[in-house]
A and B are shown apart, each in its own frame.
Chain A
Amino acid sequence: MTGVLALARPDSWDFPLFLHVLGAMVLVGGLLTGASAIAFARGDARFLRLGYWTLLGVALPGYVVMRIGAQWLYSKGPWEDLPEGVDEPAWLGIGWIVADVGAALTLIALILGGIGVRRLRTGGGTGLLKAAMVIAWIVLAAALVAVWAMSGKPE
């Protein structure tokens, strides 16, 4: 039943869905670019900074737009008033978990990376930026699982 509810999409859901998907796409692009720039920096401070600022300036705004779209869609949907005995679909649960855990991990990556960028001035910080990169790869992988779940809608 929840699958049917998800497929029968009223027109009023289109704009929130557009925001949600566009934000998620920018988030994925920002994570990919930021993590890749740090991965291939080979100690080059300019490239390490580029990676960090991409995570902060592209991935984070993408996350915010994705999350606003998600909450807007949720408020329009039937999920808060499901009949007794009908659970939220698995794909929705996967989306929430990835969004919430992903937000926490992204914040940790940004804090670690921010300290790392500051330490670049004194010749350090590379390790912290690599830690931020590893977290970004993990969030990216989780985001792709969420995309699969939200588009394929496994029962």
Chain B
Amino acid sequence: MSFDDWILALHVLSAFAYVAAIVLFWVLVVAVRTSDTPDGTLRMGPVVKIGNACVAIGATGTIVLGIWLAFSVGGYDIWDPWIIAALVLWVLAAETGRRSGTEFMAGMTKAKELRDAGQEGPSAELLAANRTQRGLQMHTLSSVIVLLILVDMIWKPGA
């Protein structure tokens, strides 16, 4: 394997980490919709951390190694339409993902506040925070954008 082959393999592995994190957050988004207790909500914390780590590895790996490949591999240029499209979509996915994370973290914060106040029982306010529509919309949008990046990477329009 050449150095570029290694970079490509790590680029693809990063993409897998990114999508795996999106799948993980989908499972949590669905699961947290029925969670109205601080304990039930906070139990998801360690799994959220794994998802966040995968997003960090995936997002960084795809963009850094992707740009490296655009410059290094013959036949591709950074200004190729499909590469520019991928860069724009990556920025949009990162921003919508960040907004989704902020929305859902409000539920975790609320759960901590309730637990610290000694309220361990069901809370309608916590349930409402966990069922954030804006968070759901942002996560859906982020997922669709990442799917478009995958389509772009495979079909390479304009290449």
Closest chain A residue to B17, Cβ basis: A28
Beta-carbon contact of A37 and B13 below 8 Å: no
Beta-carbon contact of A153 and B1 below 8 Å: yes
Beta-carbon contact of B9 and A151 below 8 Å: yes
Beta-carbon contact of B23 and A58 below 8 Å: yes
Q: How distant is the Cα of A50 from the Cα of B50 in the complex, in angstroms?
A: 16
Give a binary string over A14-26; 1 marks a CB under 8 Å from any B CB, 0 the rest.
Answer: 1001100110111
In A137-155, the 8 Å CB interface with B consists of: 144, 147-148, 151-155
Beta-carbon contact of B16 and A147 below 8 Å: yes
Q: Which residues of A contact B145 (CB under 8 A)?
A: none
* Least distance between B90 CB and chain A CB atoms (Å): 16
Q: Which residues of B contact A32 (CB under 8 A)?
A: 20, 23-24, 50, 54
Query: Within 8 Å of chain A (Cβ to Cβ): is B12?
Result: yes
Beta-carbon contact of A14 and B23 below 8 Å: no
Q: How distant is the Cα of A131 from the Cα of B150 in the complex, in angstroms?
A: 34
Q: Say whether, besides A21-B150, A29-B24, A58-B23, A154 and B43 are in contact (CB < 8 Å).
A: no
Q: Which residues of A contact B21 (CB under 8 A)?
A: 29
With contacts defined as CB atoms under 8 Å apart, how many contacts are there between chain A and chain B in the complex?
A: 85
Q: Which residues of A contact B147 (CB under 8 A)?
A: 22
Which of A40-48, A79-87, A122-130 lies at the interface? A40-48
Q: Tell me the dominant secondary structure on chain A's binding face.
A: helix
Beta-carbon contact of A28 and B150 below 8 Å: no
Interface size on A, residues (CB 8 A): 32
Query: Within 8 Å of chain A (Cβ to Cβ): is B84?
Result: no
Residue from A17, A25, A50, A153 in contact with B16 in the complex, judged by beta carbons closer than 8 Å: A25
* Least distance between B32 CB and chain A CB atoms (Å): 10
Q: How distant is the Cα of A30 from the Cα of B1 in the complex, in angstroms?
A: 30
Residue from B5, B54, B154 in contact with A14 in the complex, judged by beta carbons closer than 8 Å: B154
Beta-carbon contact of A152 and B1 below 8 Å: yes
Q: How distant is the Cα of A122 from the Cα of B90 in the complex, in angstroms?
A: 48
Query: Within 8 Å of chain A (Cβ to Cβ): is B91?
Result: no
Query: Within 8 Å of chain B (Cβ to Cβ): is A106?
Result: no
* Least distance between A127 CB and chain B CB atoms (Å): 20
Residue from B6, B28, B31, B43 in contact with A152 in the complex, judged by beta carbons closer than 8 Å: B6
Beta-carbon contact of B24 and A36 below 8 Å: yes
In B142-159, the 8 Å CB interface with A consists of: 147, 150-151, 154-155
Q: How distant is the Cα of A148 from the Cα of B21 in the complex, in angstroms?
A: 18
Q: Which residues of B contact A151 (CB under 8 A)?
A: 8-9, 11-13
Query: Within 8 Å of chain A (Cβ to Cβ): is B27?
Result: yes
Beta-carbon contact of A40 and B47 below 8 Å: yes
Q: Which 5 A-B pairs have the closest CB atoms?
A: A29-B23, A152-B9, A151-B12, A29-B20, A25-B19
* Residues in B lying within 8 Å of A, measured CB to CB: 1, 5-6, 8-9, 11-13, 15-16, 19-24, 27-28, 31, 40, 43, 46-47, 50, 54, 147, 150-151, 154-155
